[in-house]
Amino acid sequence: MTWPTGVGRHVLDVVDSTMTEAARMAPTLSGPAWILGLRQTAGRGRRGRAWVDPAGNFAATLVMRPADPPERMALRSFVAALALHETFVTVTGRAEPFALKWPNDVLLNGAKVAGILLESSSASTGHLAIGIGVNLVSAPGGNEVEAGALRPVSLLSETGARVTPEEFLDILAPAFARWEAQFATYGFGPIRTAWMARAARLGETVMARAGTQSHEGRFIELDDQGALILVTARGRVAIPAGEVFFG
């Protein structure tokens, strides 16, 4: 794989959090850059949850400054998901075990193998940080995840594929660059179509939780803003942000 032109590559032996490091580095960066932490001491996931990150797993953040409104920047979670899916297929030579779970997880044999976290800055840096965590060699125990959440698994345990974080990054970065170029050129439409072709439980009944409200319905599509569309007993419901649970 050829590293994308104009994109920085920073590999740190130890870091508190690659997302935090991205915020620190953003003011000095002249272009997009990947930050890989071989060990994180204070990794975090969505909604402030801790991200368990044993040695050998993948924890990286892409920091960039897209000249987009916030709603368009948020669509890059789908760009990142497609890049991750492509990377897993490249590493394992198999596509069938992998699926994308709305809004920002990658599944392997129906269990969680990777997660994506987006943070944007409204300060003068105006940066977007896309954090990616992958269970390459080990996964948290069931008691370390939220009640009702999918079981976490590792790439190694499920497929036998062993890849280092640096090797994974060297495949992921070019994949992201290709999907990002498509997004920049053609908009969200092709990204949306590609994501749905890899979506977990499309056409099936799921439970979505948005704030204090829960909706049960058949997952039929994403809309053109990336919202989850369910057909419920009360009709069609669009969920712009939230969590999905499988029965």
Ranking 71-75, 174-178, 181-185, 188-192 by mean pLDDT, the lowest is: 71-75
Q: Where are the domains of the chain?
A: 8-197, 205-245
User: pLDDT value at position 1?
Assistant: 75
Ranking 59-68, 86-95, 116-125 by mean pLDDT, the lowest is: 116-125
User: pLDDT value at position 231?
Assistant: 97
The stretch 114-120 carries a mean pLDDT of: 94
CB-CB neighbours of 233 under 10 Å: 7
User: pLDDT value at position 22?
Assistant: 95
Flag whether pLDDT at 53 surpasses 90.
no
In sequence order, the 6+-apart residues with CB closer than 8 A to the CB of 34 are: 7, 8, 9, 10, 60, 61, 62, 169, 173
Q: How far apart are CA 235 and CA 231, in angstroms?
A: 6
Cα–Cα distances in angstroms (integers) from residue 187 to residues 72, 100, 131, 180, 225, in the given order: 9, 20, 22, 10, 11
Please report which confidence band the pLDDT of residue 239 belongs to, taking 50, 70 and 90 as the band edges: very high
- Domain topology for 8-197: BirA Bifunctional Protein; domain 2 (3.30.930)
Q: Give 123-155 pLDDT, tens digit per residue.
A: 555 799 999 999 999 998 765 556 557 889 999
pLDDT top residue among 226 and 47:
226
Q: What's the CATH number for 205-245?
A: 2.30.30.100
Q: Give 196-206 pLDDT, tens digit per residue.
A: 999 999 999 99
Q: Is the pTM of this model over 0.85?
A: yes
The stretch 157-170 carries a mean pLDDT of: 98
User: pLDDT value at position 42?
Assistant: 78
Please report which confidence band the pLDDT of residue 44 belongs to, taking 50, 70 and 90 as the band edges: low
* Backbone phi and psi for residue 32, each to the nearest 5 degrees, phi listed first: -65, 150
The β-bridge relationship of strands 33-37 and 58-64 is antiparallel
- Arithmetic mean of pLDDT over the chain: 91
* Backbone phi and psi for residue 196, each to the nearest 5 degrees, phi listed first: -65, -30
Please report which confidence band the pLDDT of residue 48 belongs to, taking 50, 70 and 90 as the band edges: low
In sequence order, the 6+-apart residues with CB closer than 8 A to the CB of 15 are: 21, 35, 37, 39, 40, 41
